[in-house]
């Protein structure tokens, strides 16, 4: 299962450190080569000799214990295919998230350019601390896979969320990442997300409830599968790939169309406002004595239709989204014909358990040849993978 794979396990100073002995055995049984690096405090919970016997390799602890011509943290980073940090304490998470390299493990993490899995384990109050959560988000933004702790009875006597996740969860995620196919390598994706903001005056605007989560999930999935990704976003998000921030429909149109001849696939997941104010006041509009206020609107550009009309061949593949509150399939069929796109992802926004702001979605994929494929309710991260699979097989 993991034959020839090099796994680097980072163990930090948490009570769950003893559990990692079994994780090493699981990786070894799957024919992986395992190396272990510990923070000094980790040895309060598990011995160096035990880890060496299980991994059948020297265990790294000291920063500058040189056995080769390269510094140890660079050597470890170069050799491993993946780094698994478990348990990941609040202390180590904070150091890595803020670029602090004061021991061998954090130095390796700083130099590591391949996939990293972090499995936090700590007191429930520490897990809920806002600074810890900010650091967790930083790691996610940097491309780390975070396997969140489970709820239950903790070693400190409290009960709550903080237990190290199951070892099988760590093992399975490691296998999934190491065996994932980079089937989108060499392809360039341009993906939009979020709701556009159309200014009325210096403080007011027209927008919608789009969170951008579906577009971000698509960008993440494409990037994980090896694609070059540009995310054109109205939502502030930090990622390892390029994110170009825009505000209005006009700005989004410019950003997307400049990539038209360079992209292999453009996915318009953003919720683009249909109208904008005809005239934008450069000051705050004052309330008057009248009970009525008239705002004159003009149509925004139809970015999706424009892309399909301007491309000169079957490249790029253009994918649109449609949000409907009734007659989903009927309206989607009409829209894909009108727009001329290759695929259309239809969302039912009348449901409260999917769509806007939710982490879940349920969509129907329509293609230009009349094909219809429903995807049952699932996390948007999983829906994104299924959409990409439908487009590129």
Strands of the sheet with 317-324, listed across from one edge? 242-245, 228-233, 188-193, 265-268, 317-324, 343-348, 360-367, 372-379
Distance CA 40, CA 42 (A): 5
Q: Which of 215, 196, 218 is nearest to 205 (CA)?
A: 196
Q: Convert 347-382 to b/e letters by CB count within 10 Å (16 or more is b).
A: bbbeeeebbbebebbbbbbbbeeeeeeebeebebbe
Task: Give yes or no: 124 in active site.
Answer: no
DSSP H/E element including 276: strand 275-277
What whole-number distance in Å separates Cα of residue 132 and Cα of residue 126?
7
Q: Is 116 exposed, middle or buried (0-12, 13-18, 19+ CB in 10 A)?
A: buried
Q: Give the position of tokens 């790691």.
A: 139
CA distance 245 to 233: 5
Catalytic residue among 110, 124, 156, 265: 156
Token pair for 216: 């971000």
Active-site residues: which are they? 156
């Amino acid at each position: 299962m993991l034959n020839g794979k090099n796994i680097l396990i980072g163990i930090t100073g948490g009570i769950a450190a003893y559990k990692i002995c079994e994780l090493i055995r699981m990786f070894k049984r799957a024919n992986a080569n395992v190396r272990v690096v510990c923070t000094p405090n980790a040895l309060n919970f598990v011995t160096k000799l035990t880890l060496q016997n299980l991994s059948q390799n020297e265990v790294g602890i000291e920063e500058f214990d040189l056995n080769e011509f390269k510094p140890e943290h660079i050597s470890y980073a170069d050799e491993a295919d993946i780094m698994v940090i478990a348990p990941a304490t609040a202390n180590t998470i904070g150091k890595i998230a803020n670029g602090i390299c004061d021991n061998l493990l954090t130095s390796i993490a700083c130099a590591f350019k391949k996939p990293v899995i972090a499995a936090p384990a700590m007191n429930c109050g520490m897990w809920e601390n806002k600074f810890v959560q900010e650091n967790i988000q930083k790691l996610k933004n940097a491309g780390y896979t975070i396997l969140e702790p489970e709820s239950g009875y903790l070693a400190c006597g409290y009960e709550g969320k903080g237990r190290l996740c199951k070892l099988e969860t760590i093992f399975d995620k490691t296998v999934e990442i190491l065996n994932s196919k980079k089937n989108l390598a060499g392809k360039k994706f341009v993906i939009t997300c979020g709701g556009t903001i159309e200014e009325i005056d210096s403080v007011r605007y027209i927008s919608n409830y789009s969170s951008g989560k579906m577009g971000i999930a698509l960008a993440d999935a494409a990037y994980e599968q090896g694609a070059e990704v540009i995310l054109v976003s109205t939502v502030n998000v930090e990622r390892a790939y390029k994110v170009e921030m825009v505000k209005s429909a006009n700005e989004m149109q410019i950003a997307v169309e400049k990539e038209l001849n360079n992209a292999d696939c453009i996915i318009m997941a953003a919720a683009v406002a249909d109208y904008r104010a005809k005239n934008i006041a450069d000051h705050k509009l004052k309330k008057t004595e009248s009970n009525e206020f008239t705002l004159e609107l003009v149509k925004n550009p139809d970015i999706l239709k424009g892309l399909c009309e301007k491309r000169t061949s079957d490249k790029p593949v253009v994918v649109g989204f449609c949000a409907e509150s009734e007659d989903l399939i009927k309206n989607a069929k009409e829209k894909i014909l009108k727009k001329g796109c290759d695929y259309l992802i239809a969302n039912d926004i009348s449901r409260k358990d999917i769509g806007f702001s939710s982490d879940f979605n349920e969509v129907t994929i329509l293609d230009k040849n009349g094909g219809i494929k429903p995807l049952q309710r699932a996390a948007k991260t999983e829906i994104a993978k299924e959409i990409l699979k439908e487009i590129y097989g």
